[in-house]
Structure 1
Amino acid sequence: MRVPPIYERPTVKRFFAGMILGVLIGWVFFVYQYGQVYEGLVFRISEQEATIYDLRGDIEALLSEQDKLNEENQKKLTVQEIDIQFTNVRKLKLNQLTLLDLKQQALNELQDIKRKDIETVHNMRDLLISTIENKVFLVGDKRYQLEVEESHLFTTLHIYVKVIPGG
């Protein structure tokens, strides 16, 4: 027996021609769509690279500007708080009310230096020390004088004083 030649029938030829034509059209469509998507992605990546480059330049500019501002602010820092600590409280055995009153009077003497530049306060620290040491503080009917032992200056002025009774 012989196998009949299928490829000689016109319907089979049309079928195979249609398949080949469909594959070619599908391949062309695939290449076209892939090209469109790839072109869009390349364009998007180029835009993003340009944006990243611009933003890196902005970041560098902002960081350098921030460093300059930090240096300027460091130079122009102000005194925000004043803290007075008594060093010989245990020896004198003063009560808390007396210490609080002494502290408030000393803080009232130094109130003018709040919100001033640290550099200005540093330049007049001898005046501050003499202001505290030369003042006689009255608490009730007793007199006290303060002697500055140590002071630290930044945004908070820390002053360590020794209480001298009967000043």
Structure 2
Amino acid sequence: MRIPPYYKQPSWQRFLAGAAVGGCISWLIFLFMFGALQERNSALIEKQAVQIKELRGYIQIFQEDYQELNKKNEEMLTIQKIDVKIIGFERYRITDRQSIFEAEEAVKEDLKSLIAKNLTDVYKNKEIIKKTVENKSFKINGKTYELEVKELYFYTTVALIAEIKLAG
């Protein structure tokens, strides 16, 4: 088998030369377009990287300011409400809910001076608050009762849970 002698025919030579030159030109055009596109994308990526770096800096600044403001606000918290709950009255068969309510209100009245005080100052004086509540005695149905503080929670509301005990 033998290869046909296309090198002797000028039409085939022009066709193959045109295909080779066209392939080279199209490859150069492709490289130019692809390079321009990649250059544009890399410039965009660099620009976005700079923006991201700036925004991360802003976020860091805002987070620091936010934490600083939270600390200041926590320092400025004040007591706004006092909740008192008396438990254990069922053990002494006290069925008079009105007496328990009046005892709770009396304790609230004693602690009313805490309202609008700074939270940290009130927390520092928690032992005084406990002693104030525990030294108070109540007469219910002819018997004298005292309170023992079981739980004491501090936030904008002071929550006090006290157990009633027979005074001895």
TM-score by length of 1: 0.70
Within-5 A mapping of 1:83-162: 83-86=83-86, 89-95=89-95, 97=97, 98-111=99-112, 113-122=114-123, 147=147, 149=149, 152-155=152-155, 156-161=157-162
Structure 1 counterpart of 2:42: 42
Of residues 27-36 and 156-165 in structure 1, the stretch that sits farther from structure 2 once superposed is 156-165
Q: What number of residue pairs does the alignment pair up?
A: 164
Which string of whole-angstrom CA distances, capped at 9 and with x for unpartnered residues, describes residues 91-139 of structure 1? Answer: 5332261323422443355456445421343467688668767878788
Partners of 1:76 and 1:157 in 2: CA distance: 16
Amino acid at match of 1:106: V
Structure 2 counterpart of 1:33: 33
Partners of 2:71 and 2:4 in 1: CA distance: 96
Instruction: Please tell me whether residue 77 in structure 1 is matched to residue 77 in structure 2.
Output: yes
Backbone CA RMSD of aligned residues:
3.7
Partners of 1:162 and 1:4 in 2: CA distance: 114
Instruction: Please tell me whether residue 16 in structure 1 is matched to residue 16 in structure 2.
Output: yes
Cα pair 1:146 1:161 within 8 Å, conserved: no
Cα pair 2:147 2:164 within 8 Å, conserved: yes
Partners of 1:58 and 1:121 in 2: CA distance: 37
TM-score by length of 2: 0.70
Structure 1 residues 80 and 9: alpha-carbon distance in aligned structure 2, compared to 1, 3 A threshold: farther
Partners of 2:125 and 2:133 in 1: CA distance: 13
Q: Which runs of 5+ in 2 are unaligned?
A: none
Displacement of 1:142 after TM fit?
6.7
Partners of 1:90 and 1:81 in 2: CA distance: 27
Cα pair 2:79 2:114 within 8 Å, conserved: yes
Partners of 1:45 and 1:144 in 2: CA distance: 80
Displacement of 1:31 after TM fit?
0.4
Partners of 1:144 and 1:158 in 2: CA distance: 24
Displacement of 1:151 after TM fit?
6.5
Structure 1 counterpart of 2:63: 63
Partners of 1:96 and 1:29 in 2: CA distance: 98
